[in-house]
Amino acid sequence: MKSRFTWIPVLLLLFMPLSGLVAQQKLVVKKTPFRHEFKALPYAYDALEKSIDKETMEIHYDRHHRAYFNNFMKAIEKTDLVYLTFEELFSRISQLPVAVRNNGGGHYNHQMFWSVLSPDGGGEPGGQVAEAINKSFDSFDNFKQAFEDAGATRFGSGWAWLSMNAQGELFVSSTPNQDNPLMDVVEERGTPILGLDVWEHAYYLRYQNKRTSYMQAFWDIVNWKEVERRFEKAKKEL
């Protein structure tokens, strides 16, 4: 009777290496670096002249933003950070080098800033964004005042933001330097859908020290279609 089953251990030995190989292959995950880009402006340097002059746009985009991008890429090269998205980086930014926080934030913030500006912008939002703003601030005018206050009271350099929190509600906030609401170092976290750069290099050539005048002119070039797109995307990802 024993001879009938002598082939079983042999077969098990034959199949074990194969099954082990299959299991090992399942554990192998190919990593692909996240593609960070320095995108071209979606308009000419002088396209926003009614609110931002050509020279400021050129210096801001091609010197300040480009420097943030270049330094960010240097800060993450040859590290596992190249595989992370902005959201993944910012969610643990308190644990990462300052160079990643400053330059990664600088690149992300500016890339967003250019997208929410348009020579055909201005006016008031419509659709879901308008409804959400009215729900959170009672009126568009109240929202504008809260947003301008956030930028005006930011001591030194920083940003003013309109963001969506984890409950799907909109809120206004301000962050210093190149921080943003996605980072785990801010008081109120959320997904930004509109941002305004209030560093002096963003407005000083035309407005000098009149930050308030710059913020008021900002409303004439807001790309509400892009804000709406970001709002819808953030809502889907809740």
Query: pTM (2 decimals)?
Result: 0.87
- Token readout for 167 is 């409950």
The candidate with the shortest Cα–Cα distance to 101, out of 156, 162, 183, is 183
pLDDT tens, position by position, 137-154: 999 999 999 999 999 999
Place of tokens 């880009």: 37
∠ CA 69-75-81, rounded to 5°:
100
Residue 205 has pLDDT above 60, yes or no: yes
Mean pLDDT of 97-124: 98
Mean pLDDT of 101-113: 98
Mean pLDDT of 196-224: 98
Q: Is 43 left (phi over 0), alpha (psi -120 to 50) or beta?
A: beta
| Protein fold of 51-238 | minor pseudopilin epsh fold (3.55.40)
Domain boundaries defined on the chain: 51-238
